Copies of this chain bind each other. A is one copy, B any other.
């Protein structure tokens, strides 16, 4: 149970202004902003100081520290924002970097409790704050559906049927650990799951495979192994959608993996053309697997 925080600002208003992109780290904020621009959707870029990429300045970003919730809500009201998207990689922030303002303090206890719990808890908690202030929270997939992984073969290379069988088993394993909020990805070699993502993230997971090969714990040569990435059962689809980009593919290729399977419609693909080009160049298959589940 998450406390609903300070006094509610009344019922959600039907504002008509831009969608506010509240940007954390990494390349995803750029991809979402670009997709919205190409589709002619209005965006207000708000970057989290110390976490977001400084390059967001080029997109006219408003910079705020994570604790400046008073300023943020004022900005969103002034711009008549129709909704908020939380986008990009969060880090567990240091207290000092948060620059907590008067309204921010009133949320701090709630925030810290959620930080202690898990990534999901942290993000869900923040999400509630915006909705309590009358700003609907949308998912990156809603404002930039162009980024969602399509169903079926994505690059040139077809996924072997054994890989799709391994993917089904791997997704079942990820489902099994969903309640424990550990990770959203794993790597299997044939029918054998060899690594589950933890706090190291997907890049660290892939690097681990390279290391296991180097140590002879996995076959040293030959393109083998499957990276699998998808959503957790019951996770909010509004925040923390799994993401891949060209770097993911390059890393997977370097680790000798044979291919990547992502959950279709629920994984964001950053710089899709570069992703496909990287997969084709390295000889990796890339596949979007539709998962049938209600959540």
Name, among A182, A208, A211, A217, the residue most crowded by chain B CB atoms within 10 Å (CB to CB): A182
Give the distance to chain B from A218, nearest Cβ to Cβ, in Å.
Answer: 6
A177 adjacent to B190 (CB under 8 Å): no
Query: Whole-angstrom distance between the alpha carbons of A191 and B80 in the complex?
Result: 39
- Asked if A2 is at the interface (CB within 8 A of a chain B CB), the reply is no
A177-B177, A199-B217 known; A117 vs B208 contact (CB < 8 Å): no
- State how many copies of this chain the complex holds: 2
- Asked if A193 is at the interface (CB within 8 A of a chain B CB), the reply is yes
Number of chain A residues whose Cβ lies closer than 8 Å to a Cβ of chain B: 30
A212-B199, A212-B200 known; A193 vs B173 contact (CB < 8 Å): no
Query: Whole-angstrom distance between the alpha carbons of A257 and B212 in the complex?
Result: 23
Inter-chain contacts of A199 with B (CB < 8 A)? 192, 194-195, 212, 217-218
A198 adjacent to B191 (CB under 8 Å): no
Query: Whole-angstrom distance between the alpha carbons of A116 and B193 in the complex?
Result: 12
The residue of chain B having its C-beta at the shortest distance from the C-beta of A208 within the complex is B200
Q: Which residues of A contact B (CB under 8 A)?
A: 116-118, 169, 172-173, 176-177, 179-183, 190-196, 198-201, 204, 208, 211-212, 217-218
- The 20 listed contacts between A and B (C-beta, < 8 Å) are A117-B191, A118-B192, A169-B180, A173-B180, A176-B177, A176-B179, A176-B180, A177-B177, A182-B194, A183-B196, A192-B199, A194-B198, A194-B199, A195-B198, A195-B199, A196-B196, A200-B208, A200-B217, A201-B217, A204-B217
